[in-house]
Structure 1
């Protein structure tokens, strides 16, 4: 299993770069960031500095969208970074949440997600692509290799991820829900004539390491995540109704959801996420002792999860990375002995 961290690009930018360097020092494979240009600093600029000051870490947005950035510009950014730093980027893409809603916009259609993923992937892999009535290609790109992973929750979005993504991003760590969603992505890939085993399955959620006595504090630090997920679930319920074909645990907990203030998006102590019950925090996140983290990660690994990415939007960032690097990640890595 690979491991990543998900950062917000809060100022100062050197703080984000420093956390990314610590992540690499503790053995993490990926550094992801939010991509919401009004709420936080521009991540694509910061990626260049992260790549310059690290050796192997892979960077990318979790997640960008087809609405706020021109698709060819997105492709150009990542192809340029790959040419400069040696294919150490990945693009996570979805319909859009905070980046578009803060602008009073709406999430894009799945058709646009599919088309954007195709254009970004082809250009980012030095290949020509048909777009806006023209055949386009970067004449300067020679070595860039780029994957596009699609974030999804709803039935049609999961189908899109299986048919058009190089990977699938699921932003919650409930084992039962993840199993259900991964199965649908794999089925969609197979029905489209693709090899499901060729896709990468990434689960992302807050992780906080602590003792049983600290559980109340850990929950309050991570409760914001249920509110963020709830934004997407509310869209699904609006489209399919409460009796749609998806796990009921997702629709049941958002019944108490009311207004959501994006000024508090992704922040511990978000006052608009009090509707999220403790049970959901425990199911969606990884909380507790290192042994409890390992047990849940092994369960996720058994259902096909290739990467776990930690949302570090809490007050224990450095210690979480240290404990993961020294205690949690080693049992989940492939082990090779010096002598058989």
Structure 2
């Protein structure tokens, strides 16, 4: 069974993000993941807290945060508080840092630094002391009186971080597109890391993070997904892209503007060819998207989390509803096999 997730970048007011969250809960989505990029979107922690009011089942996560703009103490306190408020319905999604850092000229964390940050977060959630890196002083969460079970997910696309995720994470947010080839390569790499720590893929929760545009007009759908596809294909991936597409990827990499990160009208979207869209997005008519979901539903993914892209000013509600219907039909078909 494939579970449903939705990634919501806070590009709209908090009240609207709360409306999408409640709709997702109503439709049976398992998770809602909020983007965290303080210079281009609304504040993620406030958005999650407001969206959680009145919910009963859906799990709240970041897609994703970082340990640079968010100090360890701040991250730990945010998630301890959100876990307390939601009764433990949380999933801390973290990465090396992307637009939240690059919009200020800062570099992402090295993998060893990310691993250390995760170790320290787990210590803080356990109620233990951690040393502050610059001062050397010890600190802890004073109100945590018993260990907290807060799963940590790593967002990954490149081989080294996929392997790290398999070794240390509770879950992996996999950003490698919607092609069987790239998904399987990512799973194989995660599994390699899992084996290094005495685990298997069954010990991790695998979330496939995919830009999604579902429209009656397939050309319009592909156009809407191009900007996010640009973000995916400029990163190292676990499998090789056909050499005929490398020149296009190089052009995208040279022109990518992080202040228009995930913006459907970004200039860098215009140079993304259809071939890359078909590899790295779920974009097309409802029937086309349903077929793509069926093609990847047997790969061992636990959840497909869509990032819905719609024309400027249009509600994401329709895409959230349509994708829910698609997954429900796919799951019904699999149950009947």
Same fold judged by TM-score > 0.5? yes
1:262 aligns with 2:258: yes
Q: CA RMSD in A?
A: 2.4
The equivalent residue for 1:164 is: 168
The equivalent residue for 1:273 is: 269
Whether contact under 8 Å (1:148, 1:167) holds in the other structure is: yes
1:140 aligns with 2:143: yes
In the TM superposition, residue 29 of structure 1 has moved relative to its aligned partner by 1.4
**What CA distance in whole angstroms lies between the structure 2 residues aligned with 1:151 and 1:280?**
21
Whether contact under 8 Å (1:72, 1:119) holds in the other structure is: no
Deviates more, 1:81-90 or 1:190-199: 190-199
The equivalent residue for 1:326 is: 325
The equivalent residue for 1:215 is: 218
What are the superposed Cα offsets for residues 234-274 of structure 1, whole Å, 9 maximum, x if unpaired?
A: xx8xxxxxxxx742349724122222222221111211122
The equivalent residue for 1:189 is: 194
Cα pair distance change 1:25/1:147, threshold 3 Å: same
Whether contact under 8 Å (1:86, 1:144) holds in the other structure is: no
**What CA distance in whole angstroms lies between the structure 1 residues aligned with 2:73 and 2:179?**
35
Cα pair distance change 1:334/1:262, threshold 3 Å: same
**What CA distance in whole angstroms lies between the structure 2 residues aligned with 1:136 and 1:267?**
39
**What CA distance in whole angstroms lies between the structure 2 residues aligned with 1:297 and 1:131?**
45
Whether contact under 8 Å (1:290, 1:328) holds in the other structure is: no
**What CA distance in whole angstroms lies between the structure 1 residues aligned with 2:11 and 2:158?**
30
The equivalent residue for 2:120 is: 119
Whether contact under 8 Å (1:58, 1:89) holds in the other structure is: yes
Deviates more, 1:177-186 or 1:52-61: 52-61
1:174 aligns with 2:174: no
Instruction: Kindly report structure 1 stretches of 4+ aligned residues shifted beyond 4 Å.
Output: 133-137, 333-337
The equivalent residue for 1:239 is: none
**What CA distance in whole angstroms lies between the structure 1 residues aligned with 2:265 and 2:305?**
21
Where 1:67 maps in the other structure, the secondary structure is coil
Where 1:17 maps in the other structure, the secondary structure is helix
Cα pair distance change 1:293/1:143, threshold 3 Å: farther
Structure 1 counterpart of 2:203, from 193, 198, 216: 198
Cα pair distance change 1:199/1:62, threshold 3 Å: same
**What CA distance in whole angstroms lies between the structure 2 residues aligned with 1:210 and 1:82?**
36
Instruction: Provide the TM-score with structure 2 as the length reference.
Output: 0.88
The equivalent residue for 2:93 is: 92
In the TM superposition, residue 127 of structure 1 has moved relative to its aligned partner by 4.3
Whether contact under 8 Å (1:79, 1:145) holds in the other structure is: no
What are the superposed Cα offsets for residues 134-160 of structure 1, whole Å, 9 maximum, x if unpaired?
A: 765434234732111111222221221
Where 1:274 maps in the other structure, the secondary structure is helix
The equivalent residue for 1:313 is: 309
Cα pair distance change 1:136/1:174, threshold 3 Å: farther
Where 1:173 maps in the other structure, the secondary structure is coil
**What CA distance in whole angstroms lies between the structure 2 residues aligned with 1:333 and 1:165?**
31
Deviates more, 1:152-161 or 1:286-295: 286-295
The equivalent residue for 1:79 is: 80
Instruction: Provide the TM-score with structure 1 as the length reference.
Output: 0.87
Where 2:269 maps in the other structure, the secondary structure is coil
Cα pair distance change 1:289/1:17, threshold 3 Å: same
**What CA distance in whole angstroms lies between the structure 2 residues aligned with 1:119 and 1:270?**
37
| Alignment coverage as a number of residue pairs | 324
**What CA distance in whole angstroms lies between the structure 1 residues aligned with 2:326 and 2:31?**
18
Structure 1, gaps ≥5 residues long: 237-244
The equivalent residue for 2:47 is: 46
**What CA distance in whole angstroms lies between the structure 2 residues aligned with 1:223 and 1:63?**
20
The equivalent residue for 1:240 is: none
Deviates more, 1:160-169 or 1:296-305: 296-305
The equivalent residue for 1:297 is: 293
What are the superposed Cα offsets for residues 22-80 of structure 1, whole Å, 9 maximum, x if unpaired?
A: 11122211111111001111110111111112211111111111211101210111111
